[in-house]
A = this chain, B = another copy of it.
Amino acid sequence: MPQIALLTDFGTRDWFVPVMKTVIYSINPRVRIIDISHDILPQNIAEASFVLWNAANQFPAKTIFVTVVDPGVGSARKIIAVETEQHVFISPANGVLDLVLSEKNIKKSVWVENRKYFLDNISSTFHGRDIFAPVAAHISKGVKLRELGEDAAYRAQKSPFCDAAEPGKYRGTVLYIDRFGNLITNLRVKAGIEGYAKVGNRKAKMVSTYSDVQHGQLLAYRGSSGLLEIAVRDGSAQRKLTARYYMTVELKLR
């Protein structure tokens, strides 16, 4: 069964997401739709990029990822579709795919322009319904990227991730703050390493799990994405450190 995964900042109070779904089902009733999230902060490309990177790394092959998060919604911004060995990605051409594609082989990229695969009457403000949903549904039925438009010659960006494997000092940044207030960084770490992380003048000891520190204490650990994370046991590192996106995190490995 082909699978379409949706990632938007549309929220769940309005009618935008269910309308996208009915458009998809009306074109391909046999597709499975999975919601990644619709609660991305409005127009927050950084947040969407990171969630997409994580989801895509853990989703099965042949998933079609539809990401609709764009500060320039309704502008003349082009829409891009990119095919990798595993997946297809469709999004506004605003860089939201750069992170997820930074470590992938690009097989094909095109501008999404062929109106044959759009809804008949295109509004200028709801491209999710009028373009993204029908194009994804058509791809799930076998339409090839080359049928959608001209070659976009997308080149993968340099990965922002950094390996912190050997003893020494590393400097990273906060890429994401999750719902529990955990800070996720761009530093790739291995299981079992020892040392500590520093945010401002606060130290967090590297441990393997939450229960290795006391209630309320800071900890640093290898998160489920393989990245260094900073958390507070039974609390929020975001609150304790008044943390922000892209804040510097230092890591000292022994």
Contact = CB atoms under 8 A, between A and B. Distances in A.
Interface of A: 1, 3, 5, 10-15, 18-19, 21-23, 25-26, 29, 32, 34-40, 42-43, 51, 54-55, 58-60, 63, 71-76, 123-126, 129-130, 178-180, 191, 208-211, 221-224, 229, 234
A43 B210 CA distance: 13
B179 A11 contact: yes
A18 B52 CA distance: 11
Contacts of A29: 1
Contacts of A59: 18-19, 22
B14 A211 contact: no
A12 B12 contact: yes
A230 to B, nearest CB: 13
Contact of A12 (B14, B38, B211, B224): B38
B73 A42 contact: no
A178 B42 CA distance: 12
A224 B51 CA distance: 27
B32 A25 contact: yes
A74 B210 contact: yes
Contacts of A3: 22, 25
Contacts of A234: 43, 71
A43 B58 CA distance: 24
Given A18-B36, A74-B211, 9 more contacts: A14-B54, A22-B58, A23-B58, A75-B209, A123-B222, A123-B224, A124-B221, A125-B209, A130-B224
A12 B37 contact: yes
Given A22-B59, A124-B209, A208-B124, A178 B72 contact: no
Contacts of A39: 11-13
